[in-house]
Amino acid sequence: MNTGTTLKLFVTASMAVGGLLFAVAAHAQFNSPISLSSSPSSPAPRSAFTVTASTPTFDRETADFEWTVDGKTRPELSGLGMHQIQLTAGAVGGATRISVTISPSIGEGGTATLTVNPSDLTLLWSADTTVPKWFRGKALVVPGAGITVSAVPRIILGSSEVNPDTLIYRWRLDSARIALSGAGKRTFHFTASQTPGATHQIDLTVEDIDGRIHKEGRILIENSNTPKVALYQASPLGGPEFRSAGRFTANPSLVDIVAEPFFFPFSSAASLIYSWSADGTETGASSQNPRLLTVNGNNLTNQGVSVNVIVTGTTPLYMSHTASFNLFISQ
Protein backbone atom coordinates (compact mmCIF):
# COMPACT_ATOMS: atom_id res chain seq x y z
CA MET A 1 0.00 0.00 0.00
CA ASN A 2 1.52 3.31 -1.01
CA THR A 3 1.64 5.74 1.90
CA GLY A 4 1.81 8.72 -0.43
CA THR A 5 5.17 9.78 0.99
CA THR A 6 7.94 10.24 -1.55
CA LEU A 7 10.55 7.48 -1.50
CA LYS A 8 8.52 5.27 0.83
CA LEU A 9 6.40 2.24 0.11
CA PHE A 10 4.79 0.11 2.79
CA VAL A 11 3.71 -3.50 2.11
CA THR A 12 0.55 -4.75 4.13
CA ALA A 13 -1.40 -8.47 4.51
CA SER A 14 -3.14 -11.42 6.16
CA MET A 15 -2.28 -12.17 2.38
CA ALA A 16 0.75 -11.67 -0.24
CA VAL A 17 1.94 -8.01 -0.88
CA GLY A 18 4.39 -6.40 -3.34
CA GLY A 19 6.59 -3.33 -3.33
CA LEU A 20 10.19 -2.19 -3.06
CA LEU A 21 12.23 0.96 -2.63
CA PHE A 22 15.47 1.99 -4.29
CA ALA A 23 17.62 4.96 -3.37
CA VAL A 24 17.96 6.08 -7.01
CA ALA A 25 19.30 9.58 -7.51
CA ALA A 26 18.54 11.68 -10.57
CA HIS A 27 21.43 13.55 -12.13
CA ALA A 28 21.23 16.86 -13.92
CA GLN A 29 23.20 17.93 -16.97
CA PHE A 30 24.74 21.35 -17.71
CA ASN A 31 25.26 21.85 -13.93
CA SER A 32 21.59 22.82 -13.61
CA PRO A 33 20.03 22.57 -10.11
CA ILE A 34 17.31 20.17 -11.26
CA SER A 35 16.39 16.88 -9.62
CA LEU A 36 13.84 14.15 -10.29
CA SER A 37 12.20 11.96 -7.68
CA SER A 38 9.76 9.07 -7.91
CA SER A 39 7.00 8.15 -5.47
CA PRO A 40 7.19 5.31 -4.74
CA SER A 41 10.84 5.15 -5.70
CA SER A 42 10.46 1.59 -6.98
CA PRO A 43 6.82 0.71 -7.61
CA ALA A 44 5.24 -2.70 -7.75
CA PRO A 45 5.02 -4.17 -11.27
CA ARG A 46 2.23 -2.66 -13.41
CA SER A 47 1.40 -0.07 -10.74
CA ALA A 48 1.26 3.72 -11.00
CA PHE A 49 4.05 5.99 -9.82
CA THR A 50 4.59 9.75 -9.84
CA VAL A 51 7.72 11.58 -11.02
CA THR A 52 8.35 15.15 -9.81
CA ALA A 53 10.88 17.67 -11.13
CA SER A 54 12.27 20.06 -8.53
CA THR A 55 14.51 23.11 -8.71
CA PRO A 56 15.23 25.87 -6.19
CA THR A 57 16.33 28.51 -8.71
CA PHE A 58 13.18 29.33 -10.68
CA ASP A 59 9.40 29.11 -10.50
CA ARG A 60 8.17 25.72 -11.69
CA GLU A 61 4.75 27.11 -12.52
CA THR A 62 6.14 29.47 -15.18
CA ALA A 63 8.74 27.10 -16.65
CA ASP A 64 8.23 24.86 -19.68
CA PHE A 65 8.76 21.12 -19.11
CA GLU A 66 9.49 18.67 -21.91
CA TRP A 67 9.27 15.03 -20.78
CA THR A 68 10.83 11.99 -22.45
CA VAL A 69 10.06 8.41 -21.38
CA ASP A 70 12.26 5.56 -22.61
CA GLY A 71 13.61 7.75 -25.39
CA LYS A 72 10.21 8.95 -26.66
CA THR A 73 9.03 12.52 -26.29
CA ARG A 74 5.70 12.72 -24.47
CA PRO A 75 3.96 15.94 -25.57
CA GLU A 76 0.78 15.02 -23.67
CA LEU A 77 2.81 15.16 -20.44
CA SER A 78 4.75 18.29 -21.37
CA GLY A 79 3.98 21.97 -21.19
CA LEU A 80 3.99 25.08 -19.01
CA GLY A 81 4.13 24.22 -15.31
CA MET A 82 3.99 20.44 -15.97
CA HIS A 83 6.54 19.60 -13.27
CA GLN A 84 4.83 16.35 -12.21
CA ILE A 85 3.76 13.32 -14.28
CA GLN A 86 2.21 9.92 -13.58
CA LEU A 87 3.38 6.74 -15.30
CA THR A 88 2.76 2.99 -15.08
CA ALA A 89 5.62 0.67 -14.17
CA GLY A 90 6.56 -2.33 -16.25
CA ALA A 91 7.41 -5.85 -15.14
CA VAL A 92 10.14 -6.71 -12.66
CA GLY A 93 13.43 -5.84 -14.32
CA GLY A 94 11.74 -3.54 -16.85
CA ALA A 95 13.36 -0.25 -15.89
CA THR A 96 11.75 3.01 -17.01
CA ARG A 97 14.10 5.88 -17.95
CA ILE A 98 12.59 9.33 -17.55
CA SER A 99 14.17 12.56 -18.76
CA VAL A 100 12.99 16.16 -18.47
CA THR A 101 14.27 19.35 -20.10
CA ILE A 102 13.23 22.55 -18.34
CA SER A 103 13.15 25.98 -19.98
CA PRO A 104 12.41 28.72 -17.42
CA SER A 105 10.98 32.10 -18.40
CA ILE A 106 14.09 33.76 -16.98
CA GLY A 107 17.54 32.23 -16.56
CA GLU A 108 19.20 29.01 -17.63
CA GLY A 109 17.37 25.68 -17.59
CA GLY A 110 18.71 22.18 -17.87
CA THR A 111 18.02 18.46 -18.09
CA ALA A 112 17.67 15.72 -15.49
CA THR A 113 17.21 11.96 -15.82
CA LEU A 114 15.91 9.24 -13.52
CA THR A 115 15.69 5.46 -13.82
CA VAL A 116 12.84 3.71 -11.98
CA ASN A 117 13.16 -0.02 -11.33
CA PRO A 118 9.93 -1.90 -10.47
CA SER A 119 10.48 -4.72 -8.00
CA ASP A 120 8.55 -7.16 -5.86
CA LEU A 121 8.65 -7.75 -2.13
CA THR A 122 6.45 -10.38 -0.52
CA LEU A 123 6.14 -10.86 3.23
CA LEU A 124 4.77 -14.26 4.27
CA TRP A 125 3.92 -15.50 7.76
CA SER A 126 3.42 -18.90 9.32
CA ALA A 127 2.22 -19.85 12.81
CA ASP A 128 3.79 -22.51 15.00
CA THR A 129 0.43 -24.12 15.82
CA THR A 130 -0.88 -27.63 15.36
CA VAL A 131 -3.00 -28.82 12.43
CA PRO A 132 -3.67 -32.40 11.26
CA LYS A 133 -1.46 -33.71 8.46
CA TRP A 134 -4.46 -33.97 6.14
CA PHE A 135 -5.61 -30.39 6.81
CA ARG A 136 -5.20 -28.21 3.72
CA GLY A 137 -5.80 -24.88 5.43
CA LYS A 138 -3.35 -22.56 7.13
CA ALA A 139 -2.20 -22.94 10.71
CA LEU A 140 -3.64 -19.88 12.47
CA VAL A 141 -2.16 -17.55 15.06
CA VAL A 142 -3.37 -17.83 18.66
CA PRO A 143 -2.18 -15.96 21.77
CA GLY A 144 1.26 -17.09 22.85
CA ALA A 145 2.08 -18.92 19.61
CA GLY A 146 5.33 -18.60 17.73
CA ILE A 147 5.20 -16.73 14.41
CA THR A 148 7.72 -16.72 11.57
CA VAL A 149 7.75 -13.94 8.95
CA SER A 150 9.72 -14.51 5.74
CA ALA A 151 10.84 -11.90 3.21
CA VAL A 152 10.84 -12.82 -0.48
CA PRO A 153 12.32 -9.94 -2.51
CA ARG A 154 12.73 -10.00 -6.27
CA ILE A 155 15.07 -7.30 -7.53
CA ILE A 156 16.65 -7.02 -10.96
CA LEU A 157 19.35 -4.43 -11.60
CA GLY A 158 20.42 -4.19 -15.21
CA SER A 159 20.17 -7.75 -16.49
CA SER A 160 21.01 -9.52 -13.22
CA GLU A 161 18.72 -10.58 -10.40
CA VAL A 162 20.06 -9.62 -6.99
CA ASN A 163 20.75 -12.57 -4.70
CA PRO A 164 18.46 -11.97 -1.69
CA ASP A 165 20.99 -13.60 0.65
CA THR A 166 23.46 -10.77 -0.05
CA LEU A 167 21.05 -8.09 1.16
CA ILE A 168 20.98 -6.63 4.68
CA TYR A 169 17.69 -7.08 6.53
CA ARG A 170 16.57 -4.99 9.52
CA TRP A 171 13.42 -6.18 11.31
CA ARG A 172 11.29 -4.22 13.79
CA LEU A 173 8.43 -5.52 15.91
CA ASP A 174 5.60 -3.19 16.97
CA SER A 175 7.61 -0.04 16.10
CA ALA A 176 10.24 -0.90 18.70
CA ARG A 177 14.00 -0.89 18.19
CA ILE A 178 15.55 -3.25 15.65
CA ALA A 179 14.85 -6.81 16.78
CA LEU A 180 16.98 -8.60 14.17
CA SER A 181 19.57 -7.33 11.73
CA GLY A 182 22.15 -8.80 9.39
CA ALA A 183 23.04 -10.01 5.92
CA GLY A 184 20.76 -12.75 4.64
CA LYS A 185 18.40 -12.53 7.66
CA ARG A 186 15.34 -13.20 5.54
CA THR A 187 13.24 -14.72 8.34
CA PHE A 188 12.12 -13.24 11.64
CA HIS A 189 10.63 -15.25 14.51
CA PHE A 190 8.72 -13.88 17.50
CA THR A 191 6.07 -14.93 20.01
CA ALA A 192 2.55 -13.55 19.77
CA SER A 193 1.10 -11.56 22.65
CA GLN A 194 -0.79 -13.44 25.34
CA THR A 195 -3.63 -10.92 24.90
CA PRO A 196 -6.38 -12.30 22.61
CA GLY A 197 -7.07 -10.06 19.62
CA ALA A 198 -3.74 -8.23 19.79
CA THR A 199 -2.26 -7.04 16.48
CA HIS A 200 1.47 -7.12 15.77
CA GLN A 201 3.14 -4.81 13.25
CA ILE A 202 6.30 -6.11 11.62
CA ASP A 203 8.44 -3.62 9.65
CA LEU A 204 11.33 -4.59 7.42
CA THR A 205 14.07 -2.51 5.82
CA VAL A 206 16.31 -4.12 3.21
CA GLU A 207 19.47 -2.58 1.75
CA ASP A 208 22.57 -3.64 -0.10
CA ILE A 209 26.09 -2.93 1.06
CA ASP A 210 26.67 -0.41 -1.76
CA GLY A 211 23.60 1.68 -0.94
CA ARG A 212 21.98 1.13 -4.35
CA ILE A 213 18.95 -0.58 -2.86
CA HIS A 214 16.66 0.56 -0.07
CA LYS A 215 13.27 -1.01 0.44
CA GLU A 216 10.70 -1.18 3.21
CA GLY A 217 7.93 -3.64 3.93
CA ARG A 218 5.21 -3.96 6.55
CA ILE A 219 2.78 -6.67 7.57
CA LEU A 220 0.09 -6.77 10.27
CA ILE A 221 -0.72 -10.04 12.06
CA GLU A 222 -3.64 -10.46 14.48
CA ASN A 223 -3.91 -13.28 17.03
CA SER A 224 -7.70 -13.33 16.99
CA ASN A 225 -8.11 -17.12 16.82
CA THR A 226 -8.52 -19.74 19.55
CA PRO A 227 -7.50 -23.41 19.71
CA LYS A 228 -10.17 -26.04 19.17
CA VAL A 229 -10.59 -29.80 19.16
CA ALA A 230 -12.59 -31.87 16.67
CA LEU A 231 -13.53 -35.57 16.80
CA TYR A 232 -13.48 -37.83 13.74
CA GLN A 233 -14.15 -41.48 13.01
CA ALA A 234 -10.88 -43.15 12.03
CA SER A 235 -9.76 -46.37 10.37
CA PRO A 236 -6.38 -48.13 10.71
CA LEU A 237 -5.67 -47.83 6.98
CA GLY A 238 -7.44 -44.68 5.90
CA GLY A 239 -6.84 -42.48 8.94
CA PRO A 240 -9.37 -39.87 10.09
CA GLU A 241 -12.56 -39.47 8.06
CA PHE A 242 -12.64 -35.70 8.33
CA ARG A 243 -16.09 -35.45 6.72
CA SER A 244 -17.51 -37.33 9.71
CA ALA A 245 -17.00 -34.54 12.25
CA GLY A 246 -19.86 -34.31 14.74
CA ARG A 247 -21.93 -37.34 13.66
CA PHE A 248 -21.21 -40.80 12.29
CA THR A 249 -23.23 -43.95 11.58
CA ALA A 250 -21.32 -47.24 11.71
CA ASN A 251 -21.95 -50.97 11.45
CA PRO A 252 -21.61 -53.01 14.66
CA SER A 253 -17.87 -53.33 15.18
CA LEU A 254 -14.98 -51.70 16.94
CA VAL A 255 -15.08 -48.02 16.01
CA ASP A 256 -12.05 -45.76 16.45
CA ILE A 257 -12.56 -42.09 17.23
CA VAL A 258 -9.64 -39.68 17.10
CA ALA A 259 -9.34 -36.21 18.63
CA GLU A 260 -7.57 -33.69 16.40
CA PRO A 261 -6.20 -30.53 18.08
CA PHE A 262 -6.26 -27.41 15.89
CA PHE A 263 -4.17 -24.27 16.47
CA PHE A 264 -2.49 -25.23 19.75
CA PRO A 265 1.00 -23.74 20.09
CA PHE A 266 3.76 -26.26 19.46
CA SER A 267 5.09 -25.46 22.94
CA SER A 268 1.93 -26.81 24.60
CA ALA A 269 0.76 -29.53 22.18
CA ALA A 270 2.95 -32.31 23.62
CA SER A 271 1.64 -31.75 27.16
CA LEU A 272 -2.09 -31.79 26.34
CA ILE A 273 -4.19 -34.18 28.44
CA TYR A 274 -7.18 -35.96 26.83
CA SER A 275 -10.10 -36.99 29.10
CA TRP A 276 -12.70 -39.16 27.34
CA SER A 277 -16.28 -40.04 28.26
CA ALA A 278 -19.15 -41.92 26.59
CA ASP A 279 -22.71 -40.96 27.54
CA GLY A 280 -21.31 -39.16 30.55
CA THR A 281 -19.26 -42.10 31.82
CA GLU A 282 -15.50 -41.63 31.95
CA THR A 283 -13.65 -44.09 29.75
CA GLY A 284 -10.02 -44.76 28.94
CA ALA A 285 -8.28 -44.00 25.67
CA SER A 286 -5.59 -45.99 23.92
CA SER A 287 -2.48 -46.39 26.07
CA GLN A 288 -0.27 -45.76 23.04
CA ASN A 289 -2.26 -42.81 21.69
CA PRO A 290 -4.24 -40.68 24.16
CA ARG A 291 -5.98 -39.00 21.22
CA LEU A 292 -7.61 -42.29 20.16
CA LEU A 293 -10.72 -43.90 21.69
CA THR A 294 -12.14 -47.28 20.58
CA VAL A 295 -15.88 -47.89 21.00
CA ASN A 296 -17.33 -51.42 20.85
CA GLY A 297 -20.30 -51.00 18.54
CA ASN A 298 -21.49 -54.57 19.13
CA ASN A 299 -22.87 -53.45 22.47
CA LEU A 300 -24.72 -50.47 20.97
CA THR A 301 -26.90 -51.97 18.21
CA ASN A 302 -29.72 -49.58 17.26
CA GLN A 303 -28.46 -47.16 19.85
CA GLY A 304 -26.52 -43.97 19.80
CA VAL A 305 -23.71 -42.89 22.06
CA SER A 306 -22.44 -39.41 22.76
CA VAL A 307 -18.65 -39.36 22.88
CA ASN A 308 -17.00 -36.41 24.59
CA VAL A 309 -13.39 -35.37 25.06
CA ILE A 310 -11.96 -32.61 27.24
CA VAL A 311 -8.49 -31.45 26.25
CA THR A 312 -6.60 -29.79 29.08
CA GLY A 313 -3.45 -27.73 28.66
CA THR A 314 -0.78 -26.72 31.13
CA THR A 315 -1.05 -22.95 30.63
CA PRO A 316 -3.93 -20.65 31.66
CA LEU A 317 -4.69 -19.76 28.04
CA TYR A 318 -5.28 -23.38 27.03
CA MET A 319 -6.72 -24.98 30.15
CA SER A 320 -9.83 -26.67 28.76
CA HIS A 321 -11.33 -27.36 25.33
CA THR A 322 -14.24 -29.71 24.68
CA ALA A 323 -15.48 -31.61 21.63
CA SER A 324 -18.45 -33.99 21.23
CA PHE A 325 -19.24 -36.75 18.74
CA ASN A 326 -22.55 -38.56 18.22
CA LEU A 327 -22.05 -42.17 17.10
CA PHE A 328 -25.01 -44.21 15.81
CA ILE A 329 -24.79 -47.99 15.26
CA SER A 330 -26.98 -49.56 12.57
CA GLN A 331 -27.67 -53.22 11.68
Tell me the pLDDT of the chain (331 aa) as tens digits.
Answer: 333 333 333 333 333 333 444 434 444 344 457 899 998 887 888 999 999 999 888 888 889 999 999 999 999 999 999 999 999 999 988 889 999 999 988 777 889 999 998 888 899 999 999 998 888 999 999 998 999 999 999 988 877 889 999 999 999 999 888 889 999 999 999 999 999 899 999 999 988 888 777 888 999 999 888 888 988 887 765 566 665 555 565 555 778 888 889 998 887 777 888 999 888 888 877 778 888 888 776 666 556 778 889 888 776 666 678 887 676 655 5
Q: Are residues 139 and 213 in the same domain?
A: yes
Q: Identify each DSSP E strand in 74-191 by its residue range.
A: 79-80, 84-88, 96-103, 110-116, 120-127, 146-154, 156-157, 160-161, 168-173, 178-183, 187-191
Cα–Cα distance, 10 to 86 (Å, whole number): 19
Q: Do 197 and 166 fall into the same domain? A: yes
Rounded CA gap, 20 and 121, in Å?
A: 6
Question: What are the helix (H) ranges across the chain?
Answer: 266-269
User: Which among 101, 116, 131 is the end of a domain?
Assistant: 116
Among 169, 192, 222, give the residue marking a domain's end. 222
Is the domain of 246 the same as that of 313? yes
Total domain count, the chain: 3
Domain boundary among 174, 202, 222: 222
What is the C-alpha separation between 255 and 12, in angstroms, rounded? 48
pLDDT at 152: 95
